Amino acid sequence: MASRSALIVLLVVVSSVAAASAATFIVGDSSGWTVGSVNYTTWASGKTFAPGDTLVFNFATGAHDVVEVDKSGYDGCSTSNAANTIQNGPATVTLTSGTGTYYYICGFTGHCGSGMKLAVTVGSGSSPSTPPTTPGGSPSPSAPTTPSAPAPGSGTPGSASVRLTAGPALAVAAAVLVKLALF
């Protein structure tokens, strides 16, 4: 009986770790999504972004927006071919594609030109200063979600995300052990 309980606890722990694999990134950390105080290329460099991760853009509604654009829109600070615009802050965006680059700018006049632009490369581990494009030159559309509370500690510089991963093999092994214990 004790071994069954231990195996059930193991399964719960493995399931929890697997469910917590997506990370939440607070864009600009404590400064948020704002003009002039953050170099967003530097902020993104060295971070690893994966499908399912969320970006939280902290800004006051009416002061900024978040516009998803293609590389051309990012380079030229143009919203003419916007894939998505979020006008209410804080804005939460989920990265949905397997790999590629997402481009975000502030559509308010002069803000993008003053540095309010972010390129996030999913799957490569960082966002370089000259981000590559996805095949066809544009990112896969992301799915904006309802603003949610940031992950604990995610607003502190140096701890902008938490990612715990468990290999699929570990989860399968735990499930098999539980099934064996129940028979």
Give the pLDDT score at 139. 38
Residue-range domain boundaries for the chain: 20-122
CA gap 157, 43 in Å, rounded: 10
pLDDT 10s per residue in the chain (183 long)? 555 555 455 444 444 444 446 899 999 999 999 999 999 999 999 899 999 999 999 999 999 999 999 999 999 999 999 999 999 999 999 998 778 999 999 999 999 999 999 999 998 444 333 333 333 333 334 433 333 333 333 333 332 333 333 334 434 444 544 455 555
Residue ranges in the chain assigned as alpha helix (H): 2-19, 40-44, 71-76, 168-182
Q: How many residues does the chain have?
A: 183
Say how many C-beta atoms besides its own lie within 10 A of residue 75's C-beta: 15
- Given this structure, which CATH class describes domain 20-122? mainly beta
Residue ranges in 20-144 assigned as alpha helix (H): 40-44, 71-76
User: Which whole-number Å values give the CA distances from 75 to 67, 68, 147, in the listed order?
Assistant: 13, 12, 27
Give the pLDDT score at 34. 97
For the entire predicted model, the pTM comes to 0.61
CA gap 49, 163 in Å, rounded: 10
